[in-house]
Each structure stands twice: as C-alpha cells, then as structure tokens.
Amino acid sequence: MSIIPEIKTVFMPPDDPRAAYKLRVFEALGMKCGDLPENPADCRGGLLELSSLSAFPANCAAMINEARAVLVAPELDGGIIAGLDIKNSNKLIPALPMRYWGMVESVSDFIKNKNGGDLVSFRIFMNLPEGRKGMFGDFSKSFLPQVIDIACLIASDKPDKIRLQFTPGFNCVFGIVQFPGNIIAELDVNECLSDSLEPVRFIHAYCKEGAISNLPFSGYTNVEGALLATAAGITRPVYEHNLWDGGDELDNFYFRMIYKIRNGESLSVPGVIYGRLVKAIAAAAGSGVAVLNGGAA
C-alpha cells in the first residue's frame, strides 16, 4: 500500500458535538483544524471530518473534489453522494473507531498468524455507562453495527447469519453472529451501565490450540493485561496502545483511527453492508428480535 502524504489540515462543522475533543486529537498529531470553509477550494489537500453529520452540506461534492480524504458516518458511506466519480468516492472513509482498538488488532494478528491454530469462537463485550451514551454514534445506526464490524474483522469473513435479541426500552442487545466454518461470535452490547461503573470492553477468543483474552480473571476491571495461552505456556502481555495520553482509553480508539488515516493506513476488512444492516437493525429494535441471513439480508 502506498502511504498517502501526511494530511496537515482538517476541516469540520463548527457545531460538531465532539469538536473540542477532536481538536485536541488533531493538535496532538500536528494537524491544523478549522471550520468548513465557504469556498470549496480552501479544502484542497485536507481531511473533511464529517463523521457527526447525518446529512451532507449542499456544496459537499465540491468540497470532496478538493479534499484528500473525507471521514463520514459509516451508515452514509458507499455512494450516498450522488454524482461522485470513482476517484472522489474512493476518498470516503467510514468512521469506525472500534476497528482501531488495540485488542481487536492484537486478536486479529494472533488468529491470522495461527499462533493458536484455527479460530473456533469468540465473545465481544462492549458495555457503556449511560453517561457515555452516543459516544460511538446512534446505538442502532453506528454503535451496534461497529461491534458487528469488528467481529467480521476478527473472523476475517462476512457473516452467514446474525441473531439479535433486544431488551425492550433499553439500548441493550445480546447477539450471535455465525461465520463460515461454523465460527460463532457472541456479542454483549449495551449503553445501560451505572455511571459509577467503568466501561466494559473485553474480547475472549478460543482457537483449537490456544486462546487470547483481556477478560478479567476476577473482579470487574482488567488490571492483569491480556492473556495469551498456548501449549507452550501462558504470557500476559499488555496489548493496548499507549500513543495517546490526552483522554481515557475509549477516546484512544478515535485517536488511533485519525493517526492511521493521516498515514494512509485505514483498515479495509470483509464485513457487512452498512446501509442494509442499519435498516435491518432498526426494524429488529422495534420487534425485539431478528435473524439476519447473509448478515443484512
């Protein structure tokens, strides 16, 4: 992959709800940040950070033509802007910060390198306190689809079937995702924890000859680091990335995403078709349960 020259300038809407935090991220990476300009030519060579928008500005196509890359909400990616040619549509990058969680990257590498043999099953826990609600976007449009997306990254495949069980009245889902080869992923996703609790963010993967996990052995939080176990023995390396010291660990997902995009290293993995998946999840949320064949059929 050719490395895109470092992006030095970022433009985003002035009413972005996370503008203050994003500004700190860009400044930490040596990137100048400003409001979306009225003249599209002023976007030349920069990054358009539009991930918090549910609809695009009227002159967005002209801005994209000048920009080097465009960060958009994942449900809006995939040709949503009419009239874009292939060159400009390829600039669209879905904002999927969970892909850049250090544990996702490490589990994926562990499996791809066959360190523990073939993958059998895995579990993803992503539970947020109520006060953190919406930090990864709307629950059905972005948060839950992102968890399904990282399941696809870990399995390195598209899902055969997704079963979702919603808790009525709450942003709370239990899910089973089935992949080719009868690989099963179990999902526990919610935004219902008490604000007195820390977020829950664990992955526990079983392979035929080993396992990798950051699930606590005891207690509530993971103070032991990650566990890597094979027939040769057990080690407890720390897998989380420590490049960012300007906020808590969940914010680090966004920082690493911008860091990778700046250097032309954004991830592309087999997964779900977001537009179809978001519609299916919205319908499922109303009925309480859904089985999605082919991932988003």
For the domain that residue 276 is a member of, what is the CATH number?
3.30.360.10
Q: Are residues 67 and 210 in the same domain?
A: no
Are both 171 and 281 inside the same structural domain? yes
Query: What amino acid occupies position 186?
Result: E
Q: Does residue 211 lie within any of the structural domains?
A: yes
Same domain as 176, residue 141? yes
| Degrees to nearest 5, angle at CA 150 with 145 and 156 | 125
Angle CA 19–22–27, to nearest 5: 120
DSSP single-letter state for residue 198: P
Domain annotation covers residue 52: yes
72 sits in the region (left: phi over 0; alpha: psi -120 to 50; else beta) called beta
| 204 and 125 co-located in one domain | yes
Which of 43, 69, 94 is the endpoint of a domain?
A: 94
The C-alpha angle with vertex 149 and arms to 144 and 150, in degrees rounded to 5, equals 105
Are 130 and 48 contained in the same domain?
A: no
Same domain, 21 and 135: no
Structure confidence at residue 252 (pLDDT): 87
For residue 265, tell me if it sits in a domain: no
90 and 106 part of one domain: no
What is the predicted pLDDT for the residue at 297? 42
Give yes or no: residues 66 and 169 share one domain: no
pLDDT in the model for residue 237: 65
For 239, half-sphere exposure in the C-beta direction (CA atoms, 13 angstrom radius) is: 23
Of 131, 129, 159, 130, nearest to 145 (Cα)? 159
Q: Report residues of the chain scoring pLDDT below 70.
A: 1-5, 77-83, 218-219, 221-226, 236-247, 267-273, 275, 290, 294-297
For residue 234, what pLDDT is reported?
A: 79
> Which run of H or E residues covers position 124?
strand 119-129
**Total domains present in the chain:** 2
- Report in angstroms the alpha-carbon separations of 223 from 39, 97, 210, 215: 50, 23, 21, 10
Last residue of a domain, one of 76, 94, 112: 94
- Locate all alpha helices (DSSP H) within the chain, ordered by sequence: 19-28, 60-66, 86-89, 102-112, 144-155, 249-262, 274-287
Query: Residues 15, 136: one domain?
Result: no
| 274 and 134 assigned to the same domain | yes
Residue 180 backbone dihedrals phi, psi, to 5 degrees? -55, 145
The three-state secondary structure class of 295 is: coil
Q: Which domain holds residue 30?
A: 9-94
Which of 34, 59, 94 terminates a domain? The answer is 94
Co-location of 109 and 32 in the same domain: no
The residue whose two tokens read 């089935």 is 178
Residue 190 lies in a domain: yes
Contact call for residues 208 and 116 (beta carbons, < 8 A): yes
Question: pLDDT at position 2, please?
Answer: 43
Tell me, what amino acid is at 98? Answer: M
Q: What is the CATH number of the domain that holds 50?
A: 3.40.50
Residue 193 and residue 276 in one domain: yes
